Structure 1
Amino acid sequence: MKKTIAGVDIPDGVLAQAATDQIRGTESELMFHHALRAFLFGALTGYRENLTFDAELLYVAAMFHNVGLNEKYQRSPYRFEVDGANAARDFLRQHVVVDRLIDEVWAAIALHMTPGIPEHMSPLVALISAGVHMDIRGARYDGFTAQQRDEIVQAFPRESGFKKKVIKAYARGMEHRPETTFGTVCADVLDRCDPNYCRLNFCGQVLGSDWSN
């Protein structure tokens, strides 16, 4: 793996290498490359905004952010983001990372599909969300130079049909637990991909509750 891409050094410490080895062995190339691009776009956002962050923890969070979509969690009752956050927490505990930092990585992964919250939290939480959403839906696309975008995609390609393929990957990871998409952008995925999906409505839940008034 090239060590510096678009001006960002790829972490190569023991923690980063262990995360790379674990995720490379369990995720498709499509999702593995997405994780790497998310890290790079997140790091570049941090540099542009003069934020202080731990690059290795940002890398680990990026590696684990989509783990909850894997087949291992096909029977999970939790949001896929929570499954990924829990997997990252277990990994970091094995490497004796302090609890405060583990909690930060957990929050970054758990909240990365919940718009409007991460950008008001710590740099790590904000940057994971920023990196993921830049790569997935082009959030703040023009905040990056063409050279930066080209270098990142050259190093970790967006394979042909990436947009449709990544939506399908999300749908496969959530179709067995549709209720967990309530309140996040994930509801849009199942609304598009699952003809049997019934989107939960907050107002309907309030008006249909057991309260008498």
Structure 2
Amino acid sequence: MDNPYGELPFPRTDMALKAVRFVKGIETPAIFNHSMRSYLYGRFLGEQQGLQPDRDYDDELLFLGCLLHDAGLSPEGNGDQRFDIDGADLAARFLAEQGLPPEKVEVVWDAVALHLHYDIAIRKRPEIALVTSGVGFDLGPDGTHPLPAGYADRIHAVLPRLHAAPVLYETIVGQALEKPHKAPPFSMPGELLRQETQTIWPTWKQLMSQTPGWNDYDGYQPKT
């Protein structure tokens, strides 16, 4: 990065710079700053595991995954899928247009698409696992990995929080209110929409009984 980010350890490759310009142009400042901070925390958490950038993982790919993980919350990324999948598709299109090799584009797609699914993402390669870890840490430190003294203050001085948590909530819910199919029941967007609207979700039996043709519950006698 150039001067605005000071000594913070962001990648300075051409691809990274192009991605910063792209994401900064489509996201709100609060979500952009959240994405940038997520990389710094993901990298930090990797170091806590003994992982070193460009030795144990591709640092540029980690950065791209973090930077683009909420692209689906931008107007350009707001399609007809959950925002994590919309964002993964937008990230892949952008990176492919910039000439990133397909095998690297796939890593970023996975990182963005899985960032809401911690238990899955954490089992993947570091470029994917650390995106999810960094994103979560920026929204709520886990308490088991204390940051170096003053590190968060230095990050927030350059990338202020700008009420990140409520901005993310309002953006996710706003998309879902306009397009409810983007927030299916039992998904994270669906839960936020339920909290906002107080909608009562259907039970498992109700969902299964809506399936035409099978009638699995007809004549069924519970064992207990």
Cα distance in 1 for partners of 2:204, 2:182 equals 13
Equivalence for 2:152: 149
Q: Paired residue for 1:192, among 183, 191, 195?
A: 195
1:149 is displaced (CA, Å) by: 2.2
Cα distance in 1 for partners of 2:27, 2:158 equals 18
Helix, strand or coil at the partner of 2:94: helix
Change (3 A) 1:107 1:144: same
Q: Paired residue for 2:70, among 57, 66, 83?
A: 66
Equivalence for 2:14: 14
Change (3 A) 1:163 1:156: same
Change (3 A) 1:77 1:200: farther
Change (3 A) 1:152 1:181: same
Instruction: Determine if the alignment matches structure 1 residue 101 to structure 2 residue 97.
Output: no
Equivalence for 2:59: 55
Equivalence for 2:219: none
1:147 is displaced (CA, Å) by: 2.6
* Equivalent AA in structure 1 for residue 84 of structure 2: E
Helix, strand or coil at the partner of 2:5: coil
Equivalence for 2:133: 130
Larger mean CA deviation between 141-150 and 19-28 belongs to: 141-150
1:203 is displaced (CA, Å) by: 5.0
What TM-score does the superposition give when structure 2 sets the normalisation length? 0.82
What TM-score does the superposition give when structure 1 sets the normalisation length? 0.86
User: Deviation digits for residues 124-170 of structure 1, max 9, x if unmatched?
Assistant: 1111111111112x1424413253322222221112x4432321122
* 4+ residue runs over 4 A deviation: 200-203
Equivalence for 1:31: 31
User: Deviation digits for residues 103-127 of structure 1, max 9, x if unmatched?
Assistant: 1110110111123211011111111
Q: Rg: which structure is higher?
A: 2
Q: Paired residues, what number? A: 206
Check the 8 A contact 1:89/1:105 in 2, yes or no: yes
Cα distance in 2 for partners of 1:92, 1:72 equals 15
User: Deviation digits for residues 49-91 of structure 1, max 9, x if unmatched?
Assistant: 12322111111112211111122344x2211111111111112
Instruction: Determine if the alignment matches structure 1 residue 115 to structure 2 residue 118.
Output: yes
* Equivalent AA in structure 1 for residue 146 of structure 2: F
Structure 1 residue ranges without an equivalent (≥5): none
Check the 8 A contact 1:39/1:59 in 2, yes or no: yes
Cα distance in 1 for partners of 2:181, 2:189 equals 10
Sequence identity of aligned pairs in percent? 24
Equivalence for 2:174: 172
1:96 is displaced (CA, Å) by: 2.1
Equivalence for 2:183: 181
* Equivalent AA in structure 2 for residue 167 of structure 1: Y
Check the 8 A contact 2:108/2:128 in 1, yes or no: yes
Equivalence for 2:42: 42
Structure 2 residue ranges without an equivalent (≥5): 217-224
